[in-house]
Amino acid sequence: MNPPVIPEYNKPDSPGIWMNFDNTVSLYHIVEESDDFNKAASDIFNLVKSSQDKYPDWPRVLYLDIAGHLDELGRFEDEMVELQQEFLIAALGKFLTALDMPLVSVVNPDAQDNAVPDSLAIQ
């Protein structure tokens, strides 16, 4: 078994899908102040799906920024914590090699799963 890919962190200058010279793909998304959980989750899922379609099976690194969504103490609102912890790490994380988010940066300890579903169902 091959060891997991540890990509060079190279955050793009603007949102989108970016091919890197080390044969990894950087995905960069900014959750806007007007975005709710469902919009943010759908946008990020579509970015992952598009990157798999465009660059099949290439290691993917997600870079996430969040504009606003802070409470009166300067902490992320509950839905943005849930987006990062429960949705991105726990659910979508297996389709990524690494994630760089405001709360934490993590490398997937397992091989990236490239069987990205065709659609997202948020319950």
**Predicted pLDDT of residue 39:** 94
C-beta atoms surrounding 81 within 10 Å: 14
* pLDDT: which is higher, 98 or 120: 98
**Predicted pLDDT of residue 77:** 85
Q: Where are the domains of the chain?
A: 16-107
**Predicted pLDDT of residue 8:** 57
State the amino acid at position 87 in one-letter form. F
**Closest alpha carbon to 35 in 13, 55, 54, 15:** 15
Q: Could you write out the DSSP letters of every residue in 28-91?
A: EEEE-TT--HHHHHHHHHHHHHHHHHHSTT--EEEEEEE-S-B-TTSPBPHHHHHIIIIIIIII
**Predicted pLDDT of residue 70:** 78
Mean pLDDT of all residues in 45-55? 96
C-beta atoms surrounding 15 within 10 Å: 14
**Predicted pLDDT of residue 65:** 93
pTM, to two decimals: 0.86
The string of pLDDT tens digits covering residues 73-116 is 888 888 988 898 889 988 899 999 999 998 888 999 999 999 99
Total residue length of the chain: 123
Chain-centre distance for alpha carbon 77: 18
**Closest alpha carbon to 88 in 58, 57, 118, 47:** 47
The string of pLDDT tens digits covering residues 6-28 is 555 678 889 999 988 888 899 99
**Predicted pLDDT of residue 6:** 56
pLDDT at position 3 over 80: no
